[in-house]
Amino acid sequence: MLKWFDENIEKSIILVCYVVMTAIIFVEVIRRFAFGLQAPWSSTIPIYLFLWVTWIGCAYNCKQRSHLRFDEFRMRLPRKGQFFCLMLDHVIWIGFSILIINFAIDQVNIARDNFAIVQGTDDVLQWWFYMATPIGFSLVIYRVLRNLMEDVQRFRNGEPMLLKAIKKIVD
């Protein structure tokens, strides 16, 4: 169960959010043009769901090693230089994520303490959606730490460094 969770958590959250966003937009476009009706929250909830897609997607890209990188430069470096650049990446990602989590939690607390509701709704709280940022960047830290451990192990074993995005073959 934990292995499945580790392999699929980001993909599952992204899929659910995309399906819900698509369903809301599809249904509300039909309602607007066919019946002249539209739910007042139909333009805001998809935007808030996109927060989840964005920050969980960031963690997924860290897991796949497909985030912003300078691979062409690194591939020309000696092995120790490659390892140093990977470690620098990991430290920067973790530091950046901690900074974002710190400020995002403040924003979540402000929205929660003020009982901020999503525009067009009566009882959907904004902070539920704002939690995407600290949760997403906590997942980033987890994925970066996993990659860091793998990189250290590969370096110690004399294996080549993983400088390209991991592409999994699906049968």
Cβ burial, residue 20 (10 Å; 0-12/13-18/19+): middle
What's the pLDDT tens digit per position in 146-162?
Answer: 999 999 999 999 888 87
Under 8 Å CB-to-CB from 23, ≥6 apart: which residues? none
> For residue 102, which amino acid is it?
N
User: In the chain, what are the domain boundaries?
Assistant: 2-156
- Report the predicted TM-score, pTM, of the whole model to 2 decimal places: 0.87
Tokens 């062409």 correspond to what residue?
A: 72
For residue 164, the model assigns a pLDDT of 67
Rg of the chain (C-alpha set): 20
